[in-house]
A and B are shown apart, each in its own frame.
Chain A
Amino acid sequence: MSSESFLAQAFIYLAAAVVAVPIAKRLGLGSVLGYLLAGIAIGPFGLHLVGAEGQDVMHFAEFGVVMMLFVVGLELEPALLWRLRAPILGLGGLQVLLTVLAVAGVALAIGMSWQVALAIGMILAPSSTAIVLQSLAEKGVLKTEGGQSAFAVLLFQDIAVIPMLALFPMLATAPHGGAEDAGHAAEATTLVGGLPGWAQTLAVLGAVAAVVLAGRFLVRPALRAIAAARLRELFTAAALLLVIGIALLMTAVGLSPALGTFLAGVVLANSEYRHELESDIDPFKGLLLGLFFIAVGASVDFALILAQPLLIAGLVLAIIALKFAVLFGLARAFKLSLDQGLLFAFALPQVGEFAFVLCSFANQQGVLDTTITSPIVAAVAISMALTPLLLIINERLVQPRVGTLRGDAREADAINERSPVIIAGFGSFGSTVGRLLRANGVGSTVLDIDSDRVDLLRRMGLKVYYGDASRYDLLETAGAGEARVLVLALDSPEKTLELVHTARTHFPHLTIVARSFDWPDTHALYAAGVSHVYREDIDTAVRSGADVMRLLGMHGATALRAAQAFRHHEEAALRELTGRDDDKAGYVSMARERIEALERQMQADRDAPALTRDSGWDAESIREEVRSMPAPAA
């Protein structure tokens, strides 16, 4: 490909993304669907701007998934991963097993051979890590029970793909797919393919051990040395090198590269470079994932769909229904609540990107021929494209019904007496605000995205609405038209900013009280026009600091005044900063900005004049004046 045509391609992909994604987000459809639609639009069956090379682009862009799992690993400390072991093995294992069996059973029933049936089962069992994680993260439900369970299942599927690849050659029935070919294919994909079984196992274990040990003992000192060079791009290069290196190593021993980088991420989750690595990899991950989604959209074979519309539609529906049934059954068996079970089942019923790989592998191996795989590939792409829609259906149509079933009687009073306060986000911060208000007879309406919590609160008689608080219609339902104060206590700074914009556009009369996390997002909120911003840790941190000084013997009032003065200094410094560079309004908080903010804070502390004056209590000047006068006659 000439560089010119490469640039032209890049231009088309980027332009499609830049146009489609903001529109999709504005419509509340999420970025994934935006990318997919962009892909369909520029694909062979839309504007025909990109053609057959879409498949290559997809393979290249799949590296985004590898990077995503690295970032996911960075956010997952080993202890948390260990806590997830039961859902990973139990829920994940059963999901793969039951789905394979169910799909194979259907295939057998319609007269296919057991080898073909099993192969199709394995192709359809995995779900799409990229689409699911991205969609759940965007909706802010990754940390809920349903989200965590979905994550556990995806992780197991990534592991399960390895034995699947090993099994495929054994299922070959067609004459052209002999043992020789299988051997070649295995050698082609891995370096250790030709070795005996025990040596392969050893190589796999060795590679995993190498990743863990290197992560522990080698990467940190190396990163320290690189960071010392103080070249930003060098650190970025090192981060990319790390991810690509691990991916190569894993591919060499036949393991999933995504799994390898995930492992490396977990090992580095406790290191001091966690945020740095995260913010360096993040843009690459985002771009590649976007590219990947576009490629998926572009690869949807409309010719085939139009040729056999009923077959494809039936296939898609059957796949989704079957996988949904297995998932929902498992969710109930594993005691997920109804709403979380629904979220879990609505998130995972599509077929994952790995099906594309397995299908072409199955063709090579002579396991399946293209008359079977072509409709499957089309159905897989459609099922992926449907995922964001399914999640929207779950969020807007299913969850509100499920959630309100038990609270119908209360729903009526909620409409009669409007609360003066709306609290968006009822985690520990929002709930503390809400409890204080409630204890003093101030009613509040709560919007929350965690359906388990919504359930609990409803049972306790609170006015709680399930859903994404940044949606205009939900705010409207919650009574934003009549409320006076909107309290923002969402877990995500991005969502908070989004909500600020929605509220300021549609409900300008609302006074916004926002919780923030650190300097950059406090700054962003000030810049977005919010005047009541409360940094979540400032009060507790300053109070602890004052108590530390008291424990060291400082007088209570002195410590308190010092803490009060420090808080004013902190707030003033931040406001001053906000005034200085307004152009940064709305920017997203990133690790690097946090570090820079800390540096500026420390600088401001150094430059500040003595923080406590309290000269009203200091008689030094009057003492001097009195002493300078002649002594009165006694």
Chain B
Amino acid sequence: MSILRYHQYNLALFFFNAHMSTPMNKILILFAHPALDKSRVHRRLIRAVPDLPGITVNDLYDAYPDFDIDVAREQGLLAAHDLIILQHPFYWYSTPAIIKQWEDLVLEHGWAYGSQGAALRGKRLLSLITTGGAAAAYRHEGYNRFTVRELLAPIEQTAYLCGMEYLPPYLIQGTHRMDEDEIELEVGRYRQLLALLHAGRIDLDAARGQPSLNPSFDRAISQEVPT
């Protein structure tokens, strides 16, 4: 059995298990990729989002190509979900432009923050990021000189100000060197990640403060899947 087949088999079993468990997180994926036709990884990821009740994909560049964001709609979506995932490629150590515009317009004072702004309190925020460079580059001694989590400090502080719990980022790194099979593996892991988050089967408390969510996710898989 090829490694790919193995994963598909696991996945089926895994979804069965995940579905049986009780608390279900409502997940909103805020997805941003400005040139999806040129994307190798995200295009496949976003098509592979498991069709589970309570998982919503919001493709910002498709909904607002001209950056004319519908604030009321976005706030409604945020209010209706528990876990917000910012999924995007890592562009110049940050998000694609539309997420900045989205933050500026949607996270209004008096709604998201400030003495009256409590709409997001208690929700969780997760960055799901792909980097072309390998994990080794995102170290103090690497050529990017900072970890991804450090570079994401503005997002982390935004979450903090809005009273949200900021989770360590889930990282898919070294995509420049990935071949088709490796990408396919990442797609499978992505589906598992979403299903586990949806089912609440990742120990998020233990992940707190970690550089990335990936180890916690790996641990959760090893507990889920009979080997």
Q: Which residues of A contact B (CB under 8 A)?
A: 554-561, 614, 617-620, 622-623, 626-627, 631-634
B50 within 8 A of A: no
- Sampled A-B contacts (8; CB under 8 Å): A555-B36, A555-B37, A556-B65, A559-B65, A561-B65, A619-B176, A631-B177, A634-B136
B176-A622 in contact (CB<8A): yes
Chain A residue contacts of B62, Cβ below 8 A: 555-557
Kindly state the separation between the CA atoms of A617 and B88 in the bound complex, as whole angstroms: 12
B63-A618 in contact (CB<8A): no
B34 within 8 A of A: yes
Chain A residue contacts of B163, Cβ below 8 A: none
Chain B residue contacts of A633, Cβ below 8 A: 136
The interface residues of chain A, by DSSP majority, are classed as helix
Chain B residue contacts of A634, Cβ below 8 A: 136
B20 within 8 A of A: no
B177-A627 in contact (CB<8A): yes
B66 within 8 A of A: yes
B66-A618 in contact (CB<8A): no
Kindly state the separation between the CA atoms of A301 and B125 in the bound complex, as whole angstroms: 95
Q: A623 and B35 in contact (CB under 8 A), knowing A555-B62, A557-B61, A632-B134?
A: no
Instruction: Report B49-87 CB contacts with A as 1/0, cut-off 8 Å.
Output: 000000000010111111000000000000000000000
How distant is A627 from chain B, measured CB to nearest CB, in Å?
Answer: 6
Q: A557 and B35 in contact (CB under 8 A), knowing A632-B136, A634-B136?
A: yes
Q: A558 and B66 in contact (CB under 8 A), knowing A623-B132, A626-B177, A632-B134?
A: no
A556-B61 in contact (CB<8A): yes
How distant is B178 from chain A, measured CB to nearest CB, in Å?
Answer: 9
Instruction: Report B23-38 CB contacts with A as 1/0, cut-off 8 Å.
Output: 0000000000111111
A623-B176 in contact (CB<8A): yes
Q: A619 and B132 in contact (CB under 8 A), knowing A559-B65, A631-B177?
A: yes
Q: A557 and B132 in contact (CB under 8 A), knowing A626-B177, A631-B177?
A: no
Chain B residue contacts of A614, Cβ below 8 A: 34-35, 38
Q: Enumerate B129-179 residues with CB–CB distance to A below 8 Å.
A: 132-134, 136-137, 176-177
Kindly state the separation between the CA atoms of A23 and B38 in the bound complex, as whole angstroms: 63
How distant is B83 from chain A, measured CB to nearest CB, in Å?
Answer: 25
Chain A residue at minimal CB-CB distance from B136: A632
B61-A555 in contact (CB<8A): yes
How distant is B58 from chain A, measured CB to nearest CB, in Å?
Answer: 12
Q: A558 and B37 in contact (CB under 8 A), knowing A622-B132, A626-B132, A632-B134?
A: yes
How distant is B29 from chain A, measured CB to nearest CB, in Å?
Answer: 16
* Residues of B in contact with A, size category: 20 to 34
Having A623-B132, A626-B177, A627-B177, one finds 11 other A-B pairs with CB under 8 Å, namely A555-B62, A556-B61, A556-B64, A556-B65, A557-B62, A558-B35, A617-B34, A618-B35, A618-B38, A619-B132, A632-B137
B61-A627 in contact (CB<8A): no
Kindly state the separation between the CA atoms of A614 and B61 in the bound complex, as whole angstroms: 15
Chain B residue at minimal CB-CB distance from A623: B176
Q: Which 3 A-B pairs have the closest CB atoms?
A: A560-B65, A557-B61, A556-B62
Chain A residue contacts of B136, Cβ below 8 A: 632-634
Kindly state the separation between the CA atoms of A598 and B64 in the bound complex, as whole angstroms: 32
Chain B residue contacts of A556, Cβ below 8 A: 59, 61-65
Instruction: Report B169-192 CB contacts with A as 1/0, cut-off 8 Å.
Output: 000000011000000000000000
Chain B residue at minimal CB-CB distance from A560: B65
B176-A627 in contact (CB<8A): yes
Chain B residue at minimal CB-CB distance from A554: B37
Instruction: Report B89-125 CB contacts with A as 1/0, cut-off 8 Å.
Output: 0000000000000000000000000000000000000
Chain A residue at minimal CB-CB distance from B36: A555
Kindly state the separation between the CA atoms of A618 and B32 in the bound complex, as whole angstroms: 15
Kindly state the separation between the CA atoms of A606 and B201 in the bound complex, as whole angstroms: 56
A617-B38 in contact (CB<8A): yes
Chain B residue contacts of A560, Cβ below 8 A: 65-66
Chain B residue contacts of A627, Cβ below 8 A: 176-177
Max chain B Cβ within 10 angstroms of own Cβ: one of A557, A622, A631, A634: A557
Kindly state the separation between the CA atoms of A619 and B136 in the bound complex, as whole angstroms: 19
A557-B177 in contact (CB<8A): no
Chain B residue contacts of A620, Cβ below 8 A: 38
Kindly state the separation between the CA atoms of A556 and B33 in the bound complex, as whole angstroms: 11
How distant is B34 from chain A, measured CB to nearest CB, in Å?
Answer: 5
A558-B176 in contact (CB<8A): no
Kindly state the separation between the CA atoms of A634 and B63 in the bound complex, as whole angstroms: 40
A557-B176 in contact (CB<8A): no
Chain A residue contacts of B33, Cβ below 8 A: 557
Kindly state the separation between the CA atoms of A271 and B136 in the bound complex, as whole angstroms: 70
How distant is B183 from chain A, measured CB to nearest CB, in Å?
Answer: 12
Kindly state the separation between the CA atoms of A202 and B177 in the bound complex, as whole angstroms: 88
Chain A residue contacts of B59, Cβ below 8 A: 555-556
Kindly state the separation between the CA atoms of A634 and B65 in the bound complex, as whole angstroms: 39
Kindly state the separation between the CA atoms of A84 and B34 in the bound complex, as whole angstroms: 53
Chain B residue contacts of A632, Cβ below 8 A: 134, 136-137
Kindly state the separation between the CA atoms of A257 and B180 in the bound complex, as whole angstroms: 77
Chain A residue contacts of B133, Cβ below 8 A: 626
Chain A residue contacts of B132, Cβ below 8 A: 619, 622-623, 626
Chain B residue contacts of A623, Cβ below 8 A: 132, 176
How distant is B95 from chain A, measured CB to nearest CB, in Å?
Answer: 13
Kindly state the separation between the CA atoms of A205 and B172 in the bound complex, as whole angstroms: 83
How distant is B173 from chain A, measured CB to nearest CB, in Å?
Answer: 12
How distant is B128 from chain A, measured CB to nearest CB, in Å?
Answer: 18
Kindly state the separation between the CA atoms of A560 and B64 in the bound complex, as whole angstroms: 10
Chain B residue contacts of A554, Cβ below 8 A: 37
Q: A558 and B36 in contact (CB under 8 A), knowing A623-B132, A626-B132?
A: yes
B176-A617 in contact (CB<8A): no
How distant is A615 from chain B, measured CB to nearest CB, in Å?
Answer: 9
How distant is A543 from chain B, measured CB to nearest CB, in Å?
Answer: 10
Chain B residue at minimal CB-CB distance from A558: B37
Kindly state the separation between the CA atoms of A554 and B63 in the bound complex, as whole angstroms: 12
Chain A residue at minimal CB-CB distance from B35: A617
How distant is B67 from chain A, measured CB to nearest CB, in Å?
Answer: 10
B38-A626 in contact (CB<8A): no
How distant is A548 from chain B, measured CB to nearest CB, in Å?
Answer: 14
How distant is B142 from chain A, measured CB to nearest CB, in Å?
Answer: 9
Chain A residue at minimal CB-CB distance from B143: A632
How distant is B140 from chain A, measured CB to nearest CB, in Å?
Answer: 16
Chain A residue contacts of B34, Cβ below 8 A: 557, 561, 614, 617
How distant is A265 from chain B, measured CB to nearest CB, in Å?
Answer: 44
Kindly state the separation between the CA atoms of A555 and B33 in the bound complex, as whole angstroms: 10
Chain A residue contacts of B64, Cβ below 8 A: 556
Chain A residue at minimal CB-CB distance from B63: A556
Kindly state the separation between the CA atoms of A558 and B62 in the bound complex, as whole angstroms: 8
Kindly state the separation between the CA atoms of A627 and B62 in the bound complex, as whole angstroms: 31
Chain A residue contacts of B35, Cβ below 8 A: 557-558, 561, 614, 617-618
Kindly state the separation between the CA atoms of A233 and B65 in the bound complex, as whole angstroms: 50
A557-B65 in contact (CB<8A): yes
Chain A residue contacts of B65, Cβ below 8 A: 556-557, 559-561
How distant is A291 from chain B, measured CB to nearest CB, in Å?
Answer: 56
Kindly state the separation between the CA atoms of A170 and B59 in the bound complex, as whole angstroms: 84
Max chain B Cβ within 10 angstroms of own Cβ: one of A559, A617, A622, A623: A617
Chain A residue contacts of B37, Cβ below 8 A: 554-555, 558
